[in-house]
Amino acid sequence: MATHDTDALIMALERGPALLIPLIREVPVANLKRRPAPEKWSAHEHACHITTAHGLFLDRLDRMLKEDNPVIKAYLPEDEHPEKLAGMDLDASLARYVRERGEMVERLRPLTHDQWERTGRHSEFSRYSIFIMFRHLFLHDMLHAYRIEELAFKKDW
């Protein structure tokens, strides 16, 4: 079995919005911005955070395609101000997510095997290729989707 199935990864990234948007819509409106604890994000914040990643990943893609083994600085969620996320318009953010994810998928489709294998030196990972980077994006989506689902069906507030 191939270890890098780019078609499967592209398909997963492409279908991300179809999973995430209905999920965020299941969160009761009264609980969308409710935090489970002061230092934990609300479902609204998780959803808006997901919509902000595309620019970062496309910038990294451009660098990794143009430069040989560039240094990739880690993104830390703590760098993102929760007040900014809480203040974002959810509907506009989700529309942007759909649009930008579609654009991203179209950028990925024509990549060759050699391009998928191009690497960067990530500050936190021992290996980092274009494939790993976009698999990371998919897993990032699913991590936040899981957090949204926890909040959507939370019993005890």
Structural domains of the chain sorted by starting position, each given as residue range(s) with its CATH number in brackets: 6-152 (1.20.120.450)
For residue 106, which phi and psi values (nearest 5 degrees)?
A: -65, -30
pLDDT at site 4: 83
Asked whether the beta carbons of 32 and 90 are under 8 A apart, the reply is yes
Distances (CA, A) of 151 to 13, 24, 106: 23, 10, 32
pLDDT at site 44: 97
- Of 16, 1, 8, nearest to 131 by C-alpha is 8
pLDDT at site 1: 44
* Side-chain-side CA neighbours of residue 113 (13 Å): 4
**One pLDDT digit (tens) per residue for the chain, 157 residues:** 456 899 999 999 999 999 999 999 999 999 999 999 998 999 999 999 999 889 899 999 999 999 999 999 888 766 667 688 999 999 999 999 999 999 999 999 999 999 999 999 999 999 999 999 999 999 999 999 999 999 999 998 8
pTM check: above 0.85: yes
C-alpha dihedral, 13 to 131 to 77 to 99, nearest 10° = -30
Token pair, residue 99, equals 């649009």
Using the 8-state DSSP alphabet, how is residue 83 labeled? Answer: H
Query: Alpha-carbon distance 1 to 117, whole Å?
Result: 17
CA angle 146, 51, 69 (to 5 degrees): 95
